[in-house]
Amino acid sequence: MQAPVSTDSSKPIPIAAVIAVLIRGDEILLVSRKNPPDVGLWGFPGGKMEFGESLEQAAVRELFEETGVRGVAQQVLTALNAYDRDAQGELRQHFILVAVQCAWQSGEPVAADDAEEAGWFRLQTLTDGTLALSQDVLEVAQMALQAQIIN
């Protein structure tokens, strides 16, 4: 027997979002976030899904909106939790981020939408401490690199 679907719209629920993970050669595409969560930190382009949109469509759309780069969705890598908290540590929003690996088609990154900056970074830059990274960026980049090697 299925549990009834709740109609209580006052109860907060997680928000579905995607991140586009794009490796080109020995570089990875990252953006510096302009909006919460993770303002000022470097991470993958991404954002909220639109109603009726597939994971792959959302990743390709967000990639283009934030960077002007065109890509093709290849596969889902993983799903992550991202929490937006206020100065007192109270939870404001909970995002479920689905990481979608994409293949580069065309374009060079130009920050737009809610990206402050955008650029290609050598994979070693993610480990040397020169960039302030969002949580799980290094781990997701390593997953993408491993998947690229296998495929």
Catalytic residue among 53, 65, 117, 139: 117
Contact between 71 and 102 (Cβ < 8 Å): yes
The reply to whether 66 belongs to the active site is no
Q: Could you give all domains of the chain from N- to C-terminal order, each with its CATH number?
A: 15-138 (3.90.79.10)
**pLDDT tens track, the chain, 151 positions:** 555 555 566 889 999 999 999 999 989 999 999 987 788 999 999 999 999 999 999 999 999 999 999 999 999 999 999 988 888 999 999 999 999 999 999 999 999 988 999 999 998 899 998 999 999 999 999 999 998 877 6
Task: Judge contact between 44 and 99, C-beta under 8 A.
Answer: yes
Q: Which of 29, 20, 5 is nearest to 121 (CA)?
A: 29
Q: How far apart are CA 73 and CA 102, in angstroms?
A: 4
pTM reported for the whole predicted model: 0.90
